Each structure stands twice: as structure tokens, then as C-alpha cells.
Amino acid sequence: MLNIKNLHVQLEDEDKQILKGVDLTVEAGKVHAIMGPNGSGKSTLSYVLSGKGGYEVTDGSATLDGESLLELEAEERAAAGLFLAFQYPVEIPGVGNMTFLRTAVNAQRKARGEDEMSAAEFLKEVRATAKSLKIDADMLKRPVNVGFSGGEKKRNEILQMAMLSPKMCILDETDSGLDVDAMKLVAEGVNALRDENRGFLVITHYQRLLDHIKPDVVHIMANGRIIKSGGPELALEVENNGYADILAEVE
């Protein structure tokens, strides 16, 4: 489903190479996890896939269901079924969470040639989805993420993900800064969305998230490349021994 080949990326306004040949395939129905030391390029990979500016792709390709992503605008990638849950969700003062969600959902439906959801239909769906994620109805009325706790912001990302029903979900350290209960809620949200037609790329620092979201494949990223891939046991190895052994082995 998501197919990344030999992806090389540098900063647009600085001659600094960040991704140095990433190869990665995520099949429909599978959960792939990426772990790796700080600064290895994990967030950059998720930004480049979702269309954030400031990066230049100098080589390689990235396709979703065979369609090249890299030439598309960010909103076209979203319409194609890509979703990114941010490591640091942004606060948007003055924009109600519900309005934001409805605008996003309808923009996506429009881009796909589908009818807009009526206000009543949307309200019913968003309330039910929020409830299932244990999100307080009050949070729907407040401005996007403003004054939300760390856990509430992350759950709000999962709510957006659930409402947009993407084909390919990328979560960038959605567990960072969360207590165990909030992390479990995020994991439950992800698990509820697991589906044979949907792929996940879960970027995480901690093995403990992977206790709750059981990945099919674990990749280790370092210095702009995937240096090792394996099963869930690879995450346990990292938890127990850190990255040093794997880095040394690859060198």
C-alpha cells in the first residue's frame, strides 16, 4: 500500500541531507513500527510523506496504492487517504474543534466526489466516535487543542483519524509525554481502527506503546536510513539493550 523506495531528502534552504535512502513497504492491514534514536529522521519521514514544506526530495519515490505522493499538495495526499497524527498537535485559537473536524471531513468527501455530510449526520457520528474514545463532549466545543492536556491533544488526533477514516495512518510519537492510561486510550483508538484495508506506521520511542499496539513489523531507523527490520521482538531488544548493539552490528 505505502511504498517508499530509496528516499533521499534534504532541507530546502540548507545543504543538509536528512533521509539517506529510506526503503519501506507497509502492506494493507499491517502495523509497522519505526523506532530509532533522536534525530534519526523519523519525523522528517512523516513530514515528507504528508507534504510539509521546507524539504527537498533529491532521489527516490513514495507511492500510496501506486499513486505517487510526492507531487501532490498536502490536501491531495489527505484526500488520497493519508493521515498524519502529529508528535506536537497544534493549538488553533478561534477555530472550534467540531467546525474543524466537519470542514476536514467534508473537504475530503468533496475531493473524493462524495456528498457532504449533513450537520445532523456529522453531529451524530462525531459524538459517537468521541464517546468511544472517551473524549469529553465539551472538548468538541472548545477551540482546537487550546488548553487541552497532553493526553487530550493526542486523543484529539485519534478522533481526527477516526473521523477521516484514512487508508494509511502515520502516528509520530503519539505516545510521547503520555501517562499509561492516556497511552492505553491512544492504543485502543488505533486498535479499533485496525482493518484489513488500512495500514499503520507507528513511530515511537518506547516499547511500551507496542505492548498495546501489537506491530507486525518493527524497523529501526538511524542516521536517515532503516538499518534493521524484524518482528515485535526487535522492539524488546531495543528496550533491553538500547540502540548501541544494533548500531554496532550494522557498522
Distance CA 52, CA 73 (A): 9
Which range touches ligand ADP (CB under 6 A), out of 41-49, 68-76, 100-108, 184-192?
Answer: 41-49
CB of 203 to Mg ion, least distance (A): 7
**H or E segment to which residue 185 belongs:** helix 180-193
Which grid cell sits at 171?
502516528
By a kind-dependent CB cut-off of 5 to 8 A, residue 155 interacts, out of ligand ADP, Mg ion, none, with none
β strands within the chain, DSSP E: 2-11, 17-26, 31-35, 55-64, 67-68, 82-85, 92-96, 143-144, 168-172, 199-203, 217-222, 225-230
State yes or no: residue 231 binds ligand ADP (CB under 6 A): no
Which grid cell sits at 121?
449526520
Task: CB nearer to ligand ADP: give 90 or 120.
Answer: 90
State yes or no: residue 18 binds ligand ADP (CB under 6 A): yes
Among 13, 38, 73, 138, binds Mg ion (CB under 5 A): 38
CB of 42 to ligand ADP, least distance (A): 3
36 and 220 in contact (C-beta within 8 Å)?
A: yes
Q: Which residues bind Mg ion (CB under 5 A)?
A: 38, 42-43
Q: Which residues bind ligand ADP (CB under 6 A)?
A: 11, 18, 36, 38-44, 54
